[in-house]
Structure 1
């Protein structure tokens, strides 16, 4: 922070902001995230329901909604992330990837919403009336999901990196709290205003949300400016040398390898809840989609209330400590859900408890990465973490679907409990190692020699 001519200026790299400029930056990034989060809520929430309407198994849902997207993430994320780190253009190094792929994401999201009608039309065209297009429609849904996920990964791989490039470091914790609030509000609006119509107006929901997303995200990209970057470090010629250098940079230091695995286990812990919580509420508890939406909306209100104070706590006590506290709370809360959730009231109570503990954890995740990863290779190290996460999720999503087929939807609480424990243990090791590397005052990323 610096004063020039009586005006307070904030700096991030070569970028300089007045208070008004910083406010403008926050507004556009938060608006983009609000619409991005609403769009990202649609497919995970409604596609399992769409598949169940065609009698798809939970294993099939796990593979289509989790394993295949995770495999795509494993392939696409490191390429896009590393390429983004090295991109130099008049738009910056992140904006080109955020600006040009959302139209394709929106297109396939719309097609996914109309897959029932498209599937019936082509089935009747090819095989005539009288049969059941269920299998053909499931294959069509799978194709649209894969295309949607593939294009969405370009944005998902890069969007979070831009914060480290344009937001002044002293505001990163508070910005991330506002960012989480915006995302929570997007999900809350979807749950409260849209979810009640999930079964009756599914095609319209997919279409409207996709159009809102592409228009708002384009506006954000045109109004957020990146600064100047130093030239990227030279790389050895040849694909083999580039890949070897990538893996040496990211995986030769145990500190980062263990951190990647610990964070990945946290994502593994939530796969069953992400895919089957709606089906648990509808099929086991007898809730309506409107009641489920209200539970999500109340959880969103709790998150909104907590994210801003959590931002101050993250800045004050360091995100690693807050993340560990969140993981410990997740472990303690899940047994309550398994034993005591039997109706709307207890499901609501559990939704509020989960909103609290995941707000604690989510408010610290990206600040943790910003604090611990090397700044000049931030995208590269994020992509390495995403690769580890994707490898585990390829197996975990299919295994989660099989697990639920075997034991039932209630056991999603057991899954979360079991896989959060290794996350906590590994991150606890990271915490003690971080202390030895300088901790709050002197930490420097332990790069390879």
Structure 2
């Protein structure tokens, strides 16, 4: 029987079940609209808009991939450390969301209307001074970079807000719902909006942008943060700003990377991310070129896997809360090792690829679900943003190298080598996470002090 009077706590925040459900709904609705914007709309339509002005593949890759990754490597540590130290009457995370969300909407709509804005500027500028394509590319590059800047603020801060306002005893179930919401956002966009994307792109951008802004109003106005511990005063206030910057960087590195536990944790999660580098890029080519599947058959298999993973994630949320996300993370890692061993030797046709492909999608979905709850359980709560950003930084650095080296490995040994790549790096990751598990157990199954 549901106990509506049971009290749940998150720091200084206290909820009964109806209030907790309301907070979860606000965050889930914001996550749904953000996912439709960041994970579906922009990756799908931005390349199309760039190609309409004659942009080449290198420029598209630069705007859609390289620049956002480089920006995130710089911005994530800054946002993590600064938001952890912010103290306002509205909290330490929500002010960032309230300031950035309107700019995300503005620059997103600007990107959507770039063809019309470019045509208008072409008409009013002196004849022959600029080409229409040149104006359009400049506008879309500027708009996209500014959009990505504010989007990275919202994306990072939004996920760091959740552990601050949600009881840790339900964090696994909540993140299982977030992952389901992300999948539903992709379904809604692809099923209902994608068919209008090419002919009505400006209005699709506008609709999703306005919907995103409206969805974040309840998050900013109705989700309340609790009280945080007072800050340790910063020393050397009278020194020059370059010296203070260097001191902040040294302090950040010493706190995040100076203790073996945290360094091994970051490397372990990064190695596990590296293990997916070949599969993420070359799995479709392995299926179609080596096994002879059609694109439709491959899409059918991946679609079934995604649908199955939704049900599995709902069940896994309860398991994560009851059994601990670190244990689930390690268990799924060993299952992935076995699937890669089996896949390398026995995936030879449609049927075997169907079985292994669906199982890999489900298991990786479960493992991805444990990522943030595991960090919540193991990282210092008062500096969660800082340590989360350090984890992201290490992941980005290793993935930049892994994407290149993985491509070289596939050139040398063929598409099937993706099983070997995943097998090796998952083993290395599980060795690192085994060390983390042992230290965590010796520490009484509590977070390790920095």
Q: TM-score, normalised by structure 1?
A: 0.80
Residue 127 of structure 1, CA deviation: 7.9
Q: Count the aligned residue pairs.
A: 431
Residue 110 of structure 1, CA deviation: 1.6
1:158-197 alignment, distance < 5 Å: 158-197=157-196
The residue aligned with 1:425 is: 428
The residue aligned with 1:243 is: 249
Q: Which structure has more RCO (C-alpha within 8 Å, separation ≥ 6)?
A: 1
- Among residues 17, 20, 33, which one is paired with 2:18 in the alignment? 20
Describe the SS at the equivalent of 2:6: strand
Distance of aligned partners of 1:18 and 1:174 in 2 relative to their CA distance in 1, 3 Å threshold: same
Distance of aligned partners of 1:148 and 1:265 in 2 relative to their CA distance in 1, 3 Å threshold: farther
Residue 38 of structure 1, CA deviation: 1.1
Residue 152 of structure 1, CA deviation: 0.9
Residue 446 of structure 1, CA deviation: 5.0
Consecutive unaligned residues of structure 2, counting only runs of 5 or more, are: 237-243
1:128-143 alignment, distance < 5 Å: 133-134=132-133, 137-143=136-142
Matched, 1:445 2:444: no
Describe the SS at the equivalent of 2:227: coil
Aligned equivalents of 1:134 and 1:280: distance in 2?
37
Matched, 1:30 2:33: no
Aligned equivalents of 1:102 and 1:236: distance in 2?
33
Query: C-alpha offsets along residues 4-63 of structure 1, whole Å, 9 cap, x if unaligned?
Result: xx9321111111111111111111111111111111121123323444555655444333
Query: C-alpha offsets along residues 220-246 of structure 1, whole Å, 9 cap, x if unaligned?
Result: 221111111111223333333222111
CA RMSD in angstroms, aligned pairs only: 4.1
Q: Which segment drifts farther, 28-37 or 179-188?
A: 179-188
Aligned equivalents of 1:88 and 1:156: distance in 2?
20
- Among residues 260, 266, 270, which one is paired with 1:264 in the alignment? 270
Describe the SS at the equivalent of 1:16: strand
The residue aligned with 2:384 is: 378
Query: C-alpha offsets along residues 368-422 of structure 1, whole Å, 9 cap, x if unaligned?
Result: 111111112111101111222333455667x49x959x97xx96x9669736743
Q: Which segment drifts farther, 366-375 or 422-431?
A: 422-431
Q: TM-score, normalised by structure 2?
A: 0.80
Distance of aligned partners of 1:396 and 1:138 in 2 relative to their CA distance in 1, 3 Å threshold: farther
1:332-347 alignment, distance < 5 Å: 332=339
Aligned equivalents of 1:390 and 1:356: distance in 2?
24
Aligned equivalents of 1:114 and 1:89: distance in 2?
36
Distance of aligned partners of 1:66 and 1:200 in 2 relative to their CA distance in 1, 3 Å threshold: same
The residue aligned with 1:358 is: 364
Aligned equivalents of 2:140 and 2:109: distance in 1?
11
- Is the contact made by 1:236 and 1:242 (CA closer than 8 Å) also made in structure 2? no
- Is the contact made by 2:440 and 2:446 (CA closer than 8 Å) also made in structure 1? yes
Consecutive unaligned residues of structure 1, counting only runs of 5 or more, are: none
Distance of aligned partners of 1:385 and 1:213 in 2 relative to their CA distance in 1, 3 Å threshold: same
Matched, 1:307 2:306: no
